[in-house]
Amino acid sequence: MSASPVASSQTSLRVVCLPGDGIGPEVMAAAQRVLRELAPDLELEERLFGAAAIRATGTSLPEETLAACRSADAVLKAPIGDPEFDAADVRPEQGMLQLRAELDVYANLRPASLGGVDLLIVRELVGGLYFGARGVREDGTAFDTCEYHPSQVERVARRAFELARTRRRRLTSVDKANVLETSRLWRRVVGEVAREYPDVAVDDMLVDNAAMQLASDPAQFDVIVTENMFGDILSDLAAAMTGGLGLAPSASLSDDGPGIFEPVHGSAPDIAGRGVANPAAMLRSTALMLEHAFGRLEEARALEVAVDVGLQKRPTPDLGGNATTAELADAVVEALS
């Protein structure tokens, strides 16, 4: 291969960065800083998304942003959301769901570990209540519907079993099969897929019990697979059990196209603009990107270790320390070199 500029720009890896809202730009700056140090060959592009995009263009996910994400090698996303739009017709969260659906990132990996706890929630991300028919009837009744096709359950279950094989080979499938039709489908399909993975120990757990078990004995879990809404709620709980939302990363994966790598937490309007947000969740999401989008395991592990070192040295206020976002990022960069 020639080393002409054209050839190299064709082969370079493109990361579309979505800085988002609230603390989003603050934690994104930390991620970009670390990436320039650790993986200077990656091309970082920024695009408008969320409330920032609504203000500039009238829509949360502008065409141009979507096109850039589609053709990227990975999407690195900071949180979106702004109280100003909570009751508006056009809301930042709509663009986020649209982006997930457009990229078909059905498997949302949300790892949580601390001490004896090391679990991975695999949350179905493009189905269920978030995407069913909804509306408000003339009499004022509001409704959201939860639908799952067997194939939607099957593909995320298979992904979860595969991941369990790379870990402690235990899978807990969480549902509400004592009440919901979609959950009975979920349980049946997971059971069918389980036959292909006799080496993985699988059990079913009702979601209310799962919340209690997560709060009282989180060390019992290895991989948890669950539908969209249950996964949203349980993953904030798992984060709380393992150090808080400031630490919790995620990777949203499809079968082929680009993945989305973003923290579990939101735009934290209560602390935005003060430069004190914990960037660890964003940095760990960046490590997941290096691992899952680019197969760069060594860099991913190095970043994870550097984040741990940084957190020890310069903890942010959410962890009882007094470091700023930038100071923790400095400590991570220092630990990398």
Q: Under the criterion CB under 6 A, does residue 285 sit at the interface with ligand NAD?
A: no
Residue of the chain from 17, 31, 74, 80 that contacts ligand NAD (CB under 6 A): 80
Q: Of 104, 204, 236, 330, which is the active-site residue?
A: 236
Is 77 designated active site?
A: no
Residue of the chain from 37, 93, 308, 334 that contacts ligand IPM (CB under 6 A): 93
Choose between 96 and 105: whose C-beta lies nearer to ligand IPM.
96
Choose between 26 and 222: whose C-beta lies nearer to ligand NAD.
26
Spell out, one character per residue from 71 to 90, where the chain touches ligand IPM: x when CB under 6 A holds, - when not. Answer: ----------x---------
Choose the binding region for ligand NAD from 2-10, 152-160, 217-225, 260-268 (rule: CB under 6 A). Answer: 260-268
Choose between 264 and 331: whose C-beta lies nearer to ligand IPM.
264
Q: Are 296 and 286 in contact (CB under 8 A)?
A: no
Is 255 designated active site?
A: no
Q: Under the criterion CB under 5 A, does residue 299 sit at the interface with Mn ion?
A: no
Spell out, one character per residue from 185 to 224, where the chain touches ligand IPM: x when CB under 6 A holds, - when not. Answer: ----------------------------------------
Active site residues: 130, 176, 208, 232, 236
Which residues sit at the interface with ligand NAD, rule CB under 6 A? 23, 79-81, 93, 96, 245-246, 262, 265-271, 277-278, 281, 318
